[in-house]
Amino acid sequence: MSPLDSWLQPLKAYPRGLVLVCFAISAAAVLWGLAKVAKWSAYLLALAVFAGLTAALALWLWE
C-alpha cells in the first residue's frame, strides 16, 4: 500500500458523492485563487490537472 493510498483509505468510509463534492469545492476554491493572481492560460492548465485528479479520485473510490 502506497503512502497516498493509506492516506486516502479512510475516505472510503464516506459516501462517494460527498467525497467528490468536497474535493471539487476545495479544489475549485484553490483554482479560483490561482486565477486571481495568474494569467488565464495558467488557470486553464490548472483546470486540466484538476479534471485529471478528479477523474483519478473517482476511479479510485469506485474500486
Question: In this structure, what is the dihedral angle of CA atoms 45, 47, 51, 53, given to the nearest 10 degrees?
Answer: 80
- State the pLDDT confidence band at 1, using cuts at 50, 70 and 90: low
Q: How far apart are CA 37 and CA 58, in angstroms?
A: 29
Instruction: List, in order, residues 6 or more apart from 47 with CB less than 8 Å away.
Output: 31
**Do residues 20 and 50 make contact, with C-beta atoms less than 8 angstroms apart?**
no
Which residue in 16, 20, 47 sits closest to 33, CA to CA? 47
5-59: pLDDT as tens digits: 787 788 888 888 888 888 888 888 877 777 777 777 777 777 788 888 888 888 7
This prediction's pTM: 0.56
Query: What is the domain partition of the chain in residue ranges?
Result: 3-61
